[in-house]
Amino acid sequence: MPVLEELEESFCRYRIDRTFRAELKALLDRYAGRPTPLTFAGNLSRKAGCRIYLKREDLLHGGAHKTNNCLGQALLARYMGKKRLIAETGAGQHGFATAMVGALFGLKTVIYMGEEDTHRQRMNVLRMRLCGAEVVPVKTGSRTLKDAINEAMRDWIAHVEDTFYLFGTTAGPHPFPTMVKHFQSVIGREAHRQIRSLEGRLPDAVVACVGGGSNALGIFQAFLGRAEVKLYGVEGAGEGLEGERHSAPLNRGTDGVLHGAYTRILQDGDGQIREAWSISAGLDYPGVGPEHSHLRETGRVRYVAVTDKEALDAFVLLSRTEGIIPALESSHAIAYSLKLGRRLGKEAVVVVNLSGRGDKDLEHAQSALERIGRVL
């Protein structure tokens, strides 16, 4: 608790501090490459039957939106005088982004990654190590993201003095959900401005995938107050919502406490946490950011789910039609935008958060495609 209070206090102080903000802005612009473009996906739009724009977080340095949050938190760590960064990672994108900023700021960096995920995302492990981070394979539990979080929390409890836990998503204990949303909200601010200048109006819908939920909250934030903009969060339906192999706590979970947040989680009747499943390592988390649970309850955001197969199809389709290889996570959002087109009509403007690029997923996607009898 004291360490969370210290973090909250520092975050509240520096988020409004002029020097901190200027320094973060400069890093985002000149190191990470903001603003990222909003690309009209003409070929995909014809297929989908609506006007689809892609918010290109895949073009951000590091290859995913994670860099926004990592720069913000690492800068905060420096202002707080911390010497060591730790982080959990699922797909490896957050781990890699943390390793990048660790190298940039000269901070010792340790990344906890489920052993299962270190195999699924070998390239990201290499990238992290290349940037000087120590990657610790986590061998407990389901050996995926939730277990990596458990292990990072254990490390943090033992090293609170010098260590900053750079949490990757809008889940976990307060102030992480608030703080991560804050650092990711730059996505929505830009998209809001860009779509107005390109289309002269706000979009009819904004679509983003939801694992922990940081890219989704990041882009939704700017549109929450505009009721005419429909918001869709897309969870991983895995092999189907009717079975147990999915990662859709907002669609199929129940209320509970995981990693210090009261939210929708996948659990059994006793409250034991169930393992989540998704083709995409970045989505298979049995919980979700508490703000998403709230937005689900108020009905402001509609939470839907897309299967592994639909996501794979979208992964291939975007590559073929636009020459853009999306991350498997973001492929879930693409897949749902195709369904939306048929519903909203061809004049409808849909913004999809393309949260990351798919280079990291090539091997994994290829073997998944082969299993269903397709070749790249």
Tokens 């039609």 sit on residue: 321
* The only residue of 21, 119, 154, 374 in contact with another protein, by rule CB under 8 A: 154
User: What tokens appear for 22 in the block?
Assistant: 């200027």
Q: Is 143 in the site for another protein (CB under 8 A)?
A: no
* The only residue of 93, 150, 169, 215 in contact with another protein, by rule CB under 8 A: 150
Q: Is 294 in the site for another protein (CB under 8 A)?
A: no
- Closest separation between CB of residue 4 and another protein, Å? 9
- Closest separation between CB of residue 129 and another protein, Å? 24
Q: How many residues bind another protein (CB under 8 A)?
A: 28
Contacts to another protein from residues 65-124, by CB under 8 A = none
Q: Which residues contact 163 (CB under 8 A, 6 or more apart)?
A: 82, 83, 84, 85, 86, 155, 156
Q: Is 267 in the site for another protein (CB under 8 A)?
A: yes
Q: Which is nearer to another protein, 132 or 141 (CB)?
A: 141
What is the helix, strand, coil percentage profile of the chain, to 5?
50, 20, 30
Q: Is 376 in the site for another protein (CB under 8 A)?
A: no
Q: Is 333 in the site for another protein (CB under 8 A)?
A: no
Q: Which is nearer to another protein, 2 or 225 (CB)?
A: 2
Q: Is 49 in the site for another protein (CB under 8 A)?
A: no
Q: Please provide the DSSP assignment of 192-226 as one string.
A: HHHHHHHHSS--SEEEEE-SS-HHHHHHHTTTTT-
- Give the H or E element holding residue 368: helix 362-371
Choices 14-22, 109-117, 267-275, 336-344 (CB under 8 A): range interacting with another protein: 267-275
Q: Is 2 in the site for another protein (CB under 8 A)?
A: yes
Contacts to another protein from residues 246-265, by CB under 8 A = 255-260, 262, 265
* The only residue of 153, 171, 222, 229 in contact with another protein, by rule CB under 8 A: 153
Q: Could you tell me if 24 and 75 are in contact, meaning their C-beta atoms sit under 8 angstroms apart?
A: yes
Q: What is the pairing mode between strands 163-165 and 205-209?
A: unpaired
* The only residue of 25, 140, 162, 193 in contact with another protein, by rule CB under 8 A: 140
| Max Cα distance, the chain (Å) | 56
Burial class (CB in 10 A: 0-12, 13-18, 19+), 296: buried
Q: Known catalytic residues?
A: 66, 88, 355
* The only residue of 26, 130, 157, 372 in contact with another protein, by rule CB under 8 A: 157
| φ/ψ (deg, to 5) at 257 | -120, 120
Q: At what angle do helices 362-371 and 308-322 cross, to 10 degrees?
A: 120
* The only residue of 3, 103, 136, 198 in contact with another protein, by rule CB under 8 A: 3
User: What tokens appear for 190 in the block?
Assistant: 């830009």
- Beta partners for residue 230, in sequence order: 205
- Closest separation between CB of residue 89 and another protein, Å? 17
Q: Which residues contact 279 (CB under 8 A, 6 or more apart)?
A: 236, 238, 308, 311, 312, 328, 364, 365, 368
- Closest separation between CB of residue 181 and another protein, Å? 21
The site for another protein (CB under 8 A) is made up of 1-3, 140-141, 146-147, 150, 153-154, 157-160, 255-260, 262, 265, 267, 269-273
